[in-house]
Amino acid sequence: MSFPFRTSGLLCAVLLLMLSACGPSQQPENHSPDWDHPYPPESGGTLIDAMTGEPSGLIPMIAGESAASAVASNIFNTLLKYDKNLELEGELAQSWQVSPDQKTITFTLKPDMKWADGAPLTSADVLFTWKLVTDDNTRTPYGADYKLVIKAEAPDPLTFRVTYEQPYAPALDSWAGLQVLPEHILKGQDINTTSFARKPVGSHYYQLGEWKNGERIALVRNPNATQGQARIDRLVSRFIPDPASQFLELMADNIDTMSLSPIQYARIFPAREELNRKIALYKELGNAYTYLGFNLKHKPFDDKRVRQAINYAIDKQELIDGVLLGLGEPVASPYKPGTRWTNPDLRPYSYDPEKAKALLREAGFADHDGDGILDRDGKPLAFEILTNQNKQREMSAVLIQRRLKEIGISVNIRVLEWASFIGRFIKTGEFDAVVLGWSLSLDPDQYGIWHSSQQAPGQFNFIGYNNPRVDRLLEQGRLELDPDKRMKIYHEFAATLLEDSPIVYLFAGYGLPAIHKRVKGIDNPAPPAGIGHNSYEWYIPAPLRRNEISAQ
């Protein structure tokens, strides 16, 4: 019978296809330029990156998603910004002054600034933007900070003044987050529905060139930019939802930059010499930490001993090694490691299963029925960890599940997509524990996350944390403008939080950008503000540009 041969022949063909696809690339690189050759700075060229999602609009206060703010941050200016060392400096503002009673801030704008369409940019635009973000008709979640302003005024075109009811320490940080919109275009329009969201006019380095739905957004240099001229002519963001496809595009040289996963960074790149020849890897301090959060309104998580026991039972180093391949740091306070607000005396809970067991015994848990799971009052110590579709969080949950099983806690994992996760579990409070992340803000104020007043559905303190001492510290911290005193307050806050263990800090992963070597002018190693802080100084020397682009 000839047939079996045919099958196996076919299988062999598939196998061969696989193997040849998997073998290292034999592509001769003779014709490729020397990517490491230094060139002097020059203008021009196109930088292509990839985004997993498409912005729904380019007014960040309305759109909300990260894709929107990533694009909009190249189009709109803020009054202040953080420099490479994370100190505040002026962007639209030349200078600012805080009044002696610390309630009023006066910003002086840089002179002769223009919008991309040539209209003058003045303090009236800033005032207009403030009115928009605090307007009750504006559908934005970002209004809270600005509503604390009781009076805002623009006495002359270069002066913008805000007055608070009482001193508000995070005020300056908040003005580094509000992107200024043009009054002359938006006046009288409904900000929620305006077509401006799809054809924005800004004042920053770039303006919108082309937006092809579902495919890409292209930004072109803004000749009227308020902060001088960027060197690269065009920024193209392609929408590629699948990270595996993004990586293939990076390897094929169709995109210039993407964020790598730890595996790609630590395993694939070292094994692929030809990739290292043309692509440079960077490492920057992560902007977020991952945590295991308890629903403090559910038993047994109202018991501090149980929370601490779980904290001791989780091996954070194992998480960093297993999930991040070592490319991350343990955290013990909710701030960027190494910055001023991080309390240097705090250490994460050590991995100590014996101590965990002792704490649980103390809390009344023992294995009475001999099933291997601890119980108390006839109820087994079992709970469900919810997380969203995020590979690192999923892997963390699996590792946690294993470690907790070893001390007699039964854990079930449920992975949900974001909408169900938020809508049906977080907002309703119907969960036991979550693995999630918080991004690390530069201002230490975390009132929204930890203050007991912030527990309404849709607010950030969804774990139901209520600690009078923490409440008091958070309130003090907002009133204190002296950096040193403020630092002490937040160091104490972090210490209290760590001891109380309402969440288990798991890790803060590094950001792992890969950028094609044709892009020059990148600061390496990355400063505290990250690799992108001087992206307007990046340049692509003409000999290294793509062919298709030079045709433009």
Partner 1 sequence: MSRAMRNPLAFWGLVIIAIVLALALLAPVLAPYDPDAIDVKSILLPPSTAHWMGTDGLGRDVFSRMLFGSRISLLVGFVAVGIATLIGVILGAISGYYRGWVDVLIMRLVDVMLSIPTFFLILAVIAFLTPSIWNIMIVIGLTSWMGVTRLVRAEFLSLREREFVLASATLGARDHRLIFRHLLPNSLTPVIVSSVLGVASAVLIESGLSFLGLGVQPPQASWGNILTEGKEYIQFAWWLSFFPGMAILLTVLGYNLLGEGLRDALDPRTNGKGKK
Partner 2 sequence: MIRYLLKRLFWMVPLLIGISLISFFIMHLAPGDITTTEAGFNPKASEESRQKLRELYNLDKPLIVQYGLWLKRMGTLDFGTSFASHQRPVFWEKKDDQGNVNPGMIQEALPVTLLINVLSLLLIVVIALPLGVISAVHQNRPPDRAITVFVFVGFAVPGFWLALILMYWLGVVNPWLPISGLHGLGHENMGVLGRLWDLGKHLAIPVFISALSGLAGISLFVRNGMLDVLHQDYITTARAKGLPENTVIYRHALRNALLPLITLLGLSIPGLIGGSVIAESLFAIPGMGKLFYDAVLMRDFPVIMGILTIGAALTLLGNLLADLAYAWADPRVRRGVVQ
33 binds partner 2 (CB under 8 A): no
Selected from 41, 120, 223, 457, the binder of partner 2 by CB under 8 A is 457
Selected from 12, 13, 16, 18, the binder of partner 1 by CB under 8 A is 18
> Scanning residues 108 to 147, which ones bind partner 2 (CB under 8 A)?
139-141, 143
Selected from 199, 347, 368, 424, the binder of partner 1 by CB under 8 A is 424
Three-state SS for 197?
A: helix
What beta strand segments (E) does 444-511 contain? 503-509
**Smallest separation (angstroms) from partner 2 to the CB of 2:** 5
Q: Which listed option, partner 2, partner 1, none, makes contact with residue 551 (CB within 5 to 8 Å by class)?
A: partner 2
> Scanning residues 312 to 331, which ones bind partner 1 (CB under 8 A)?
318, 321-322, 325
Token pair, residue 329, equals: 């740091």
CA angle 55, 57, 59 (to 5 degrees): 120
Q: Which listed option, partner 2, partner 1, none, makes contact with residue 140 (CB within 5 to 8 Å by class)?
A: partner 2
Indicate the residue type of 147: K
Phi, psi for residue 494 in degrees, rounded to 5: -65, -40
CB neighbours of residue 361 within 10 Å: 13
Query: Alpha-carbon distance 45 to 21, whole Å?
Result: 32
Query: Alpha-carbon distance 200 to 413, whole Å?
Result: 43
User: Of 55 and 380, which has the nearer Cβ to partner 2?
Assistant: 55
Could you tell me how many residues make up the chain?
A: 552
User: Of 125 and 315, which has the nearer Cβ to partner 1?
Assistant: 315
User: Of 70 and 415, which has the nearer Cβ to partner 1?
Assistant: 415
CA angle 247, 252, 258 (to 5 degrees): 35
389 binds partner 1 (CB under 8 A): yes
188 binds partner 2 (CB under 8 A): no
Query: Alpha-carbon distance 413 to 394, whole Å?
Result: 8
Helices (H) and strands (E) in the chain, counts: 20, 21
Looking from the CA of 37 toward its CB, the CA atoms found within 13 Å total 10
Eight-state DSSP code of residue 539: B
Residue with tokens 């297993």: 322
Q: Which listed option, partner 1, partner 2, none, makes contact with residue 358 (CB within 5 to 8 Å by class)?
A: none
**Smallest separation (angstroms) from partner 2 to the CB of 426:** 8
> Scanning residues 398 to 417, which ones bind partner 1 (CB under 8 A)?
398-399, 401-402, 413-417
DSSP lists the bridge partners of residue 80 as: 90
Residue 269 contacts residue 83 (beta carbons within 8 Å) = no
Contact code string over 204-243 relative to partner 1, x by CB under 8 A: ---------------------------------------x
268 binds partner 1 (CB under 8 A): yes
User: Of 87 and 406, which has the nearer Cβ to partner 1?
Assistant: 406
Selected from 131, 212, 277, 391, the binder of partner 2 by CB under 8 A is 212
261 binds partner 1 (CB under 8 A): yes
- Residue 494's Cβ-count burial label (10 Å; 0-12, 13-18, 19+) is buried
Q: Residue count at the site for partner 2 (CB under 8 A)?
A: 68
Q: Are strands 433-439 and 382-388 parallel, antiparallel or unpaired?
A: parallel
271 binds partner 1 (CB under 8 A): yes
Q: Which listed option, partner 1, partner 2, none, makes contact with residue 458 (CB within 5 to 8 Å by class)?
A: partner 2
Residue 527 contacts residue 308 (beta carbons within 8 Å) = no
523 binds partner 1 (CB under 8 A): no
Q: Which listed option, partner 1, partner 2, none, makes contact with residue 213 (CB within 5 to 8 Å by class)?
A: partner 2
Query: Alpha-carbon distance 395 to 133, whole Å?
Result: 39
Q: Which listed option, partner 1, partner 2, none, makes contact with residue 483 (CB within 5 to 8 Å by class)?
A: none
CA angle 506, 336, 333 (to 5 degrees): 55
242 binds partner 2 (CB under 8 A): yes
What beta strand segments (E) does 450-548 contain? 503-509, 513-516
80 Cβ contact list (under 8 Å, min separation 6): 88, 89, 90, 91, 93, 96, 172, 175, 176
- Provide the binding-site residues for partner 2, judged by CB under 8 A: 2-3, 6-7, 10, 14, 17-18, 20-21, 25-27, 46, 48, 56-57, 62-64, 139-141, 143, 192-193, 195, 197-198, 210, 212-216, 236, 238-242, 244-245, 248-249, 251-254, 417-420, 422-424, 426-427, 456-460, 546, 548-549, 551-552
- Provide the binding-site residues for partner 1, judged by CB under 8 A: 1, 3-4, 7, 14, 18, 21-22, 243-244, 247-248, 251, 261, 263-264, 267-268, 271, 318, 321-322, 325, 389, 391, 394-395, 397-399, 401-402, 413-417, 419-420, 424
